[in-house]
Amino acid sequence: MTQTSFLAVIRLLSAQALLEQKFSQELGSVHGLSLNDSLLMMHLEQAPLLRLSRVDLAKRLCVSPSTVTRMTLPLEKLGMLGREADVRDARLAYVTLTDTGRKVIGAARQTLERKSKEVFKDRWSADEIEALADLLGRLTASQPNDLV
């Protein structure tokens, strides 16, 4: 007898692998971004001053701080991200979203939206998609600021 919670977790992991496979390629070739790059920039998009500290980003993305450092480096060189210091705390190195970055993530979002619709194209009603989004939202609710 298999536990329902275990079943849900396994299926979520499998579903993610499937989605990543479907999205990664086009996102990279068209916009030059990885899936995680996009999530990072989307977090910045909705941040108060279009900026977040690196540890804050790490928590939101569930990755290590070193990963954030390495992820932002090339995006900064491409002019999509910037770096800003805090007046009161010299340790902080905010990651900022530049105008270029806003345009790029906006375009990437359109690709993601289109491919998201494809995922549910057949055999899914609007109510079912919303039910899934709601349930998943409860999982991520424990995390710092929910996305979208």
Partner DNA sequence: CCGATATATTTCCGAACGCAAGCATTTAGC
Partner DNA sequence: GCTAAATGCTTGCGTTCGGAAATATATCGG
Q: Which two tokens stand for residue 66?
A: 């070193």
- The whole-angstrom separation of Cα 36 and Cα 107 is 15
User: Could you please report the per-residue DSSP string of 85-99?
Assistant: E-SS-TT-EEEEE-H
- Contact flag: residue 41 with DNA (CB under 7 A): no
Site string for a copy of itself, 62-101 (x = CB under 8 A): xx--------------------------------------
Among DNA, a copy of itself, none, partner that 89 touches (CB below 5 to 8 angstroms by kind): DNA
Please report where in the chains the tokens 């805090």 appear, as a residue: 86
- Contact flag: residue 14 with a copy of itself (CB under 8 A): yes
Nearest alpha-carbon partner for 55 in 148, 147, 144? 144
Binding site for a copy of itself (CB under 8 A): 2-21, 23, 35, 39, 42, 61-63, 109, 112-113, 116-117, 119-120, 123-124, 126, 128-133, 135-140, 142-143, 146-148
